[in-house]
Copies of this chain bind each other. A is one copy, B any other.
Amino acid sequence: MAKEKRPDGEKRAPRSRMTAAERREQLIQIARHLFAERGFDATSVEEVAAQAKVSKPVVYEHFGGKEGLYAVVIDREVTQLLGIMRSALSAGTSRQLVEQAALALLDYIEQHPDGFRILVRDSPIGSQGASFQSIIGDTTSRVEGILVDQFKARGLDARTAPMYAQMLVGMVGTTGQWWLTSGRKVDRRAVAAHIVNLAWNGLSGLEKRPSLTIE
């Protein structure tokens, strides 16, 4: 039986000899950063271990291997982003949904830049990358559902809804990527406002000073 060591009251040694849970957490952080920067293939287990000032077998002890480590990192991010997007798309007028979704993604990007980079890169582990595709897929499905209702109510062809869902998700996603890459200089809400401006009004009807209606 593994007795929980140092569960609460602690005396942290300056370095080394961490609890299993602590070490595990540290390795995940380091791995996330490296995977984000270099991608799956170009990241070596030894490098992760080195940055943790630890030797390779430690990593194997915790995660069974490189893929195990990667899987844990991915799983956390997928769960998070998926939850965020789901709740952003759960209620509101259609205009509000667009605003909420854009804001939610930008928020996630701001708080988890490494995670987002990994998800976007999405190195396929088996045959096809299931992680980001699954988020995109899930999110797109939700958007699709929303659009189908709207389309029906407005007399548009509901069969084309998937395509529009794809366009919206793609637009928001890549804009988020651009925003991240360009150093997040522009204000988050401003970016969201412009996204909504284009998505909602189109090029022909862009507002001069777009603003969000929520928050």
A residues adjacent to B (C-beta < 8 A)? 41-42, 94-95, 98, 154-157, 160, 163-164, 166-171, 173-175, 177-178, 186, 191, 194-195, 198-206, 208-209
How many copies the complex holds: the figure is: 2
User: Contact partner of A170 among B160, B174, B202, CB < 8 A?
Assistant: B174
Do the beta carbons of B203 and A156 come within 8 Å of each other? Answer: no
The 6 A-B residue pairs whose C-beta atoms are closest, nearest first, are A170-B174, A202-B202, A171-B171, A201-B202, A166-B178, A41-B41
User: Contact partner of A205 among B95, B171, B205, CB < 8 A?
Assistant: B205
Q: Which residues of B contact A174 (CB under 8 A)?
A: 166-167, 169-171, 173-174
Do the beta carbons of B156 and A194 come within 8 Å of each other? Answer: no
- Measured CB to CB, the nearest residue on chain B to A203 is B200
Do the beta carbons of B155 and A167 come within 8 Å of each other? Answer: no
Q: How far is the CA of A171 from the CA of B170 in the complex (A)?
A: 5
Q: Which residues of B contact A201 (CB under 8 A)?
A: 202, 204-205
Q: How far is the CA of A166 from the CA of B163 in the complex (A)?
A: 19
